[in-house]
Structure 1
Amino acid sequence: MTKNKRNFSFLIFIGLLVLIAAGCGEKSQENVIKKIDGTLEDISGYKAKAEMTMKTGQEERSYAVDIWFKKGQEDFYRVGLENEDEEGGQVILKNDEGVFVLTPALKKSFKFQTDWPENSSQPYLYQSLVNDVLADKDATFTESETHYVFLTKTNYQNSTNLPYQEVYFDKKSYTPTGVKIMDKDKNVLVEVAFDTIDLNPSFAKHDFDRESIIENTMNEMSVSDMEEMELAVMFPLKTLGAELVEKQEVTLEDGERVIMTFKGDRNFTLIQEKVTSVPTSGGEMIEEVTGDVVNLGYSIGALTNNTIEWNYNGTDFYLASDDMTMEELIEVASSIQGEEIK
């Protein structure tokens, strides 16, 4: 063999080694995205458990999150959220009847006219995280020994305070293991850690039935405890420059109500009401709203053009303002966290 032929063969050998090394090394961002998207497309549903930590208020709050998804002609979702401060928790439900936020212990439901969950980022939904990665053409990609990590923009319709997120996907299963949602300065304000995810779940006939969920999760002892509790008046830590000018207490036939009026640059009214009798039989109370499902950090609320309604620890809250944007309404409502008026 001539010298030139030996050199040529050696170059071919080196080239093959480089190709093999590249194939065994880091995968490209495009290939990883295709694999993540393909894994999601191949499943017919999933059940996952996660812990969500909110760092947006005066103190950290953690939720146990139970997520169920069933793919079909109409996709069904069931997301249970419960923290240690509130008995019974809440359930976000999407079935063939619509979108609901359920408070089982009080037998109450909000029914929404909305396209949730497609209308906004949802940090605890597998497909929402994948869609955010697919939608952001400027997403950055890194990898560790065990994870593929994407830094993407978020899509929170009513909040610009959480523009970024880091999403962690397991290298073996291509499923999400964690999410860190950040503010403009990349401070982590919301964190979701997935404990388990089952890609081959079974579902019972009534798993996505509203009435069955309420009946099965309603705790009689919790209801009794709530009936005995008095209304603990709460105050917003953020008022956007407004001051309390009037506080009116109203005694109801089956409870009590407090109406607070704030005046300033952003006028608003905050109503808190606690009913002492909770129905123990019959159907639940359903309130229909045209608006969005919003996470206030300690409760799930119903947001319309100039109001937010929600329930926390057996108390109904209603915040209304003609002067605030939706984002400002969320900011004030999110700051109502146990501070009693002295």
Structure 2
Amino acid sequence: MKTKIIAGAGTILLIAVLLVVLRPASFTSTLQKQVDKMDGYVLKGDMEISKGENLKTYALEVGYHKGDVQQFKVSLTDKELNQEQQILKNKDGVFVITPSLNQIFKFEGDWPLNTPKPYLLQTMNDIVQQKDTKIKKEKEGYLISAKVNYPSSQSYHHEDMHFDKDGKIQWLQIYNEDNVVELKIVFNKVEYNTNFEKDYFKTPTTLEKEKSTSAIAEEDLPLYPVQVFSSKLENTSVVSSGGETRHILEYSGDKDFTVIETKKKASDETQTVIMPLDMMDSMELIGFYDGSHMSVMYDNVEFSVYSEDLEPEEMMDVISSMQVAVMK
């Protein structure tokens, strides 16, 4: 009997050794090696952003090239408004390209790797590498489930991603704490180690004015934010100067802040504007922040929030809630 037990234990040990030897490399290490070794990538797909009853759809393109200087290009086209905006990082700096205004905004900073971005393969890899991430091997690839933290989108709570057998991302969904999907991206083109056209990451000097549909007219202003952090609207005023009309909303309460809304006109010639501010992007919005003030350009309207009490993420929440109100 004793001999049988020993033989059985030896057999179990042998099987365990064989399993270790024959087991393929884990998905975490495989993806990490892919990201480390690749020269660049292109991701294209369709993105949906849901906020309450509002659903917005975008065409998304992300390009990355390692090289001596890491270069990034993110293009986001609002399908309803037919408006495109690009964020570009190259050796000359970081640029926000806005054809609808015929303007290019230049600023300093380490975008986009300063904070996690759902559309970046680097961020996806970081999520996969987290200790508490769950990885399920399926017939068609790998399903990833993890808790997430996106500072510029604080309602994002957890995320699912699906990669194919070759480690190429197919789709991702981000949920809020109530398990409601707030962001969904379906990728229809994924290329690793791709070859880019010569001027792909080059900053344009002139822009082609695009035909777009504006959802916000001058007579629609002012818009009123839904997210006011328990503060109350105390005063409204209108100031006209330099051919522009500024609508001013003053809120007071636990957190005081002022909102200024200005409809902007496209420049006749392409302008490059130097921005001495930090940039924040929350997927569909791009904000410029200087410590006590944030400005966001949406549908040719400049929304600015001034406050000593609000955090930058809260300022973005105020502006985002105006966008939601517009689309109702």
* TM superposition score normalised by structure 2: 0.85
Within 5 A, what are the aligned runs for 1:118-129?
118-129=113-124
Q: CA deviation at 1:311?
A: 1.0
Aligned to 1:307: 293
Letter in 2 for 1:260: L
Q: Does 1:211 align with 2:189?
A: no
Q: Does 1:77 align with 2:72?
A: yes
Aligned to 1:230: 218
Aligned to 1:250: 239
Aligned length: 320
Letter in 2 for 1:249: V
Aligned to 1:321: 307
Letter in 2 for 1:232: D
- 3-state secondary structure, aligned to 2:47: strand
Q: State the superposition RMSD in angstroms.
A: 3.1
Letter in 1 for 2:187: F
Q: CA deviation at 1:330?
A: 2.2
- Residues 277-334 of structure 1: CA distance to partner in whole angstroms, max 9, x if unpaired? x2232x4241414323221x64222234332211111111111211212232222121
CA contact (8 A) 1:86 1:312 kept: no
Letter in 2 for 1:201: T
Q: Deviation above 4 Å: which 4+ runs of structure 1?
A: 11-24
- 3-state secondary structure, aligned to 1:40: helix
In structure 2, C-alpha distance between the alignment counterparts of 1:319 and 1:108, rounded to whole Å: 21
Q: For the structure 1 residues 132 and 114, does the alpha-carbon distance in structure 2 shift closer, same or farther, using more than 3 Å as the test? A: farther
CA contact (8 A) 2:279 2:286 kept: no
Alignment partner of 2:30 out of 32, 35, 39 = 35
Alignment partner of 2:267 out of 271, 279, 284 = 279
In structure 2, C-alpha distance between the alignment counterparts of 1:85 and 1:104, rounded to whole Å: 16
Letter in 2 for 1:279: S
* TM superposition score normalised by structure 1: 0.82
Alignment partner of 1:291 out of 264, 278, 283 = 278
Aligned to 2:318: 332
In structure 1, C-alpha distance between the alignment counterparts of 2:82 and 2:40, rounded to whole Å: 28
CA contact (8 A) 2:57 2:80 kept: no
Q: For the structure 1 residues 310 and 264, does the alpha-carbon distance in structure 2 shift closer, same or farther, using more than 3 Å as the test? A: same
In structure 1, C-alpha distance between the alignment counterparts of 2:56 and 2:280, rounded to whole Å: 19
CA contact (8 A) 1:90 1:101 kept: yes
Gapped regions of structure 2 (runs ≥ 5):
none
Q: For the structure 1 residues 89 and 57, does the alpha-carbon distance in structure 2 shift closer, same or farther, using more than 3 Å as the test? A: farther
In structure 1, C-alpha distance between the alignment counterparts of 2:41 and 2:116, rounded to whole Å: 18
Q: CA deviation at 1:65?
A: 0.4
Letter in 2 for 1:116: W
Identity %, equivalent residues: 25
